[in-house]
Structure 1
Amino acid sequence: MTRYYFYLSYGHSVRLRPGDRPDTDHWAGQLFTELSAEVARLVGADRRTQVGYYDDLVQPLTDWKAALAGVLSSTDVFVALYSPGYFNKSWPLRERASFASRYADPQMADRFLLPVLWVPWPPWEHEAERAAALRLGAGVPEYADEGLQAMSRLALYKKQYRTIVRRLAYRIVTLAAEAPKPAPLAVAIDEVTAEPTAPTEILFTVGVLAPQRAAVPAGRSPGSYGTAPRAWTPYRDLQHFPIAEYVANVAERLGQPARIVDRPGELGVLAQGAALVLIDPWVAATPDGLERLSGLASRIPEWATVLLVADRSDPEYAARGATLHATVADTLIAAGIARNRITLLRDADRLVERMPSIIDQACTAYRRTAPVFLPKGADSTLPRLTGSTDDREP
């Protein structure tokens, strides 16, 4: 197993448009590159040697949770870029909890945790974490005032920024020499609990409608399917990873707790938060496919997004894909789903590129459109600024 000197953890930004590279992600990536080069220099490693890791290195359409469990088990030092977003999102907190799970003694876990003040926050919040992060910047007042992200962006602080990076690299190498070998195994990210301290997250539901392996339609190979619809892998030639798991992982990395539903009796939960429904066009070729599509349409809330997923390079899709797509779309539209809420994706790279913005748009639609439920016992009569309760609009 590859050994890493450090793992870099940070609060991801939400991408608003395809191809976005938000500031947080860009500058964290730059820091990772510079820190890796400095660590490699200190240990005498070739600059091409991978001495560190962060989750942007995980290949698209792979299981982030499984991949990171292995990485965190073979990492000596956990570098946390603390910011308000770090504490408001479950994903980075779960990364930290997964690394800490390797040690029975919390003090031992803290010993190999290197916090960095990435973006400052009010001093009365997360006081212990702030104090720990400030130790890295002793003697560099700009670090406490601006945080390392701002220092990395401004030429004015280039010298101070390089000082902090070199200091961080030296501490990584020093601690890595003291880390236990072999390293204890980390608990998988989906098996640890870490609640954001100021939760702003909404629940994100991924619904799946696809055939099961035992009931694939005539003319369709069973290789893309499993014992449940959630096992569907439309891009099986690229990675053997279910698309529903991929979408849920992306949502969680963007700060949205996610769940997957694929049974008819579970579809009611689509109305409990933001939702994205994944549909395999081949479902229209099953004996009860059109009936299932009509039934699904009646359970999809008006703010949910519907995504028809196919692989344009699949010969079986090339033979019947256009017809099946049109059939699914027409059935959903006839059942009341607006055409502009239905999107077809036929390429894995395009899906990877667009998924963050698709998830963000689904969450935005939920916030704008979902009904507001008053607390039990609340007065449903809204107060008026002027006039009496007997006033009527003309």
Structure 2
Amino acid sequence: MTSRYYFYLSYGHSVRLRADDRPDTDHWAGRLFTELSAEVAKLTGAEPSTPVGYYDDLVRPMSDWKAELTGVLSSTDVFVALYSPGYFNKSWPLRERASFTGRFDGEADAERFVLPVLWVPWPRWEREAERAAALRLGAGIPEYAEEGLQAMVRLAMYRRQYRTVVTRMAREIVTAAAAAPRPGREAVAIDEVEVEPTDSTDIQFTVGVLAPSRAERPGGRAAAPYGSSPRSWNPYRGVQKFPIAEYVANVAERLGQPARIADRATDLLRLAEGAALVLIDPWLAGTTGGKERLRELAGRLPDWATVLLVADHSDPQYVARGARLYESVAATLTAAGVAQSRITLIVDIGRLVDRLPSIIDNACTVYRKNAPVFLPKGADSVLPRISGGEGSPDA
């Protein structure tokens, strides 16, 4: 049975700089969630073990984020939006909000169950309607309008004002939840929501997959990790049922990058259209034509693409043969011109979960630094030169 939540907390995720990093936005949003949950539980008399709220840090690793959050948003009474410049510049939080509000008849009806919060201030002349809506929560508290709630949760000097705002939030949530329709409509599937972030810095992120299908797997290889196509490949099937390419694409989208999956030869031509991360099953090297496919990939791989060889060290076949195939894949790629520094081996699901955000962020950073710059149509292809004064060689 699906739990019923009083509120869902939505915010724009930060970018991780290291694999073990938990950025400020994520940390302080989690702190607010914990304290707001305690306040709502106190007002409603909920048992300590009963969850009264939800935010996406509670989604189980390696699960289908989109499906799970769509279910949560369908069973949530109030949508708490932590507004910031990053909230409006990323498609993921806007899709969460659109998924929730799609349950109601029109904008006015939906607004009754959306609680906007000024998390990080932005210039008053931008998104004036959203700013005005978020400011109502902090009426009479000038620090809220000047600093935003994130600064207030961080700084001890604002502790009293912060507690006042959190109490107001809890009361508004409980009041709105009492009027929420039950049973409510299903939320719009996040996959079906289309929103356009403002001033977006999003780039296209392609998740390439090179893995055998179940029919193509090497002789003696277990069938369980494979499906009808490469994108069905799941090396950690013993832990969860979600294909790894879908999981990587989900994480990229939560970090603000529109993502797509390429698992066919024709699709892999699109790796050069944006940031790219290619997932390779080492067992591909043991298939008929597998090494040729690897050499073909190396010829198409843009300079900024990252290669991730993924295996499971707990797989009985990894020690027996999989480790040697990893070495074969790495040797084939490097011989074809792919630098060893661009190839990473992951053999543990926990390590993948921990490192993936930083791997994706790094892939996007490398793309921005190394991707070719295309001049606008009609622009002069000859770049201007700074000439010296009289007597210089260019004068």
Structure 1, residues 75-107: CA drift from partner, whole Å, max 9, x if none? 000000000000000000000000011113221
| 2:47 corresponding residue in structure 1 | 46
Counterpart amino acid of residue 274 in structure 1? A
| 2:29 corresponding residue in structure 1 | 28
Quick one: distance in 1 between partners of 2:55 and 2:214?
35
What TM-score results when the alignment is normalised by the length of structure 1?
0.98
Q: Is the 8 A contact 1:281 1:324 kept in 2?
A: yes
Quick one: distance in 2 between partners of 1:141 and 1:118?
14
Counterpart amino acid of residue 5 in structure 1? Y
Structure 1, residues 323-349: CA drift from partner, whole Å, max 9, x if none? 100100000011110011000000000
| 2:348 corresponding residue in structure 1 | 347
Quick one: distance in 1 between partners of 2:104 and 2:289?
52
Counterpart amino acid of residue 55 in structure 1? D
Quick one: distance in 2 between partners of 1:238 and 1:349?
11
Structure 1, residues 266-286: CA drift from partner, whole Å, max 9, x if none? 111100100000000000111
Q: What are the residue-to-residue correspondences of 1:71-82 with 2, within 5 Å?
A: 71-82=72-83
Counterpart amino acid of residue 60 in structure 1? P
Quick one: distance in 2 between partners of 1:274 and 1:392?
41
Quick one: distance in 2 between partners of 1:324 and 1:231?
20
C-alpha spacing 1:218/1:375, structure 2 compared with 1 (3 Å): same
| 1:240 corresponding residue in structure 2 | 241
Counterpart amino acid of residue 13 in structure 1? S
Q: Secondary structure at the match of 1:77?
A: strand
Quick one: distance in 2 between partners of 1:155 and 1:89?
30
Work out whether 1:91 is the aligned partner of 2:104: no
Quick one: distance in 1 between partners of 2:137 and 2:323?
58
Quick one: distance in 1 between partners of 2:269 and 2:342?
19
Deviation at 1:264?
A: 0.2
| 2:182 corresponding residue in structure 1 | 181
Quick one: distance in 1 between partners of 2:218 and 2:183?
50
Deviation at 1:391?
A: 7.7
Quick one: distance in 1 between partners of 2:361 and 2:385?
35
Work out whether 1:64 is the aligned partner of 2:72: no
Structure 1, residues 169-204: CA drift from partner, whole Å, max 9, x if none? 000000000000001100111110111111111110
Work out whether 1:153 is the aligned partner of 2:154: yes
Counterpart amino acid of residue 287 in structure 1? T
Q: Secondary structure at the match of 1:255?
A: coil
Quick one: distance in 2 between partners of 1:90 and 1:392?
51
Quick one: distance in 2 between partners of 1:215 and 1:290?
13
Deviation at 1:392?
A: 6.0
Structure 1, residues 47-77: CA drift from partner, whole Å, max 9, x if none? 2210000000001100000000100000000
| 1:302 corresponding residue in structure 2 | 303
Structure 1, residues 290-323: CA drift from partner, whole Å, max 9, x if none? 1111111111101000000000000011211221
| 1:55 corresponding residue in structure 2 | 56
| 2:260 corresponding residue in structure 1 | 259
Work out whether 1:205 is the aligned partner of 2:206: yes
Deviation at 1:167?
A: 0.4
Quick one: distance in 2 between partners of 1:318 and 1:51?
45
| 2:378 corresponding residue in structure 1 | 377
Deviation at 1:216?
A: 1.4
Counterpart amino acid of residue 144 in structure 1? A
Counterpart amino acid of residue 173 in structure 1? V
Counterpart amino acid of residue 87 in structure 2? Y
Quick one: distance in 1 between partners of 2:191 and 2:299?
32
Q: Is the 8 A contact 1:308 1:325 kept in 2?
A: yes
Quick one: distance in 1 between partners of 2:116 and 2:239?
37
Q: Is the 8 A contact 1:41 1:47 kept in 2?
A: no
Quick one: distance in 2 between partners of 1:392 and 1:323?
59
Quick one: distance in 1 between partners of 2:44 and 2:368?
50
Q: What are the residue-to-residue correspondences of 1:253-332 with 2, within 5 Å?
A: 253-332=254-333
Structure 1, residues 99-155: CA drift from partner, whole Å, max 9, x if none? 011113221111100000000000011100000000000111110011000000111
| 1:14 corresponding residue in structure 2 | 15
Work out whether 1:194 is the aligned partner of 2:195: yes
Quick one: distance in 1 between partners of 2:261 and 2:296?
18
Q: Secondary structure at the match of 2:51?
A: coil
Q: Is the 8 A contact 1:305 1:342 kept in 2?
A: yes
Quick one: distance in 2 between partners of 1:324 and 1:270?
24
Quick one: distance in 1 between partners of 2:313 and 2:392?
62
Quick one: distance in 2 between partners of 1:14 and 1:234?
27
Q: What are the residue-to-residue correspondences of 1:164-175 with 2, within 5 Å?
A: 164-175=165-176
Q: Secondary structure at the match of 1:275?
A: strand
Counterpart amino acid of residue 231 in structure 1? S
Q: How many positions carry a matched residue from both structures? A: 392
Quick one: distance in 2 between partners of 1:177 and 1:312?
50
- Unpaired runs of 5+ residues, structure 2, are none
Give the CA RMSD over aligned residues.
1.2
Q: What stretches of structure 1 move > 2 A for 4+ residues in a row?
A: 390-393
Quick one: distance in 2 between partners of 1:338 and 1:251?
24
Counterpart amino acid of residue 320 in structure 1? R
What TM-score results when the alignment is normalised by the length of structure 2?
0.98
Q: Secondary structure at the match of 2:308?
A: strand
Quick one: distance in 1 between partners of 2:29 and 2:157?
19
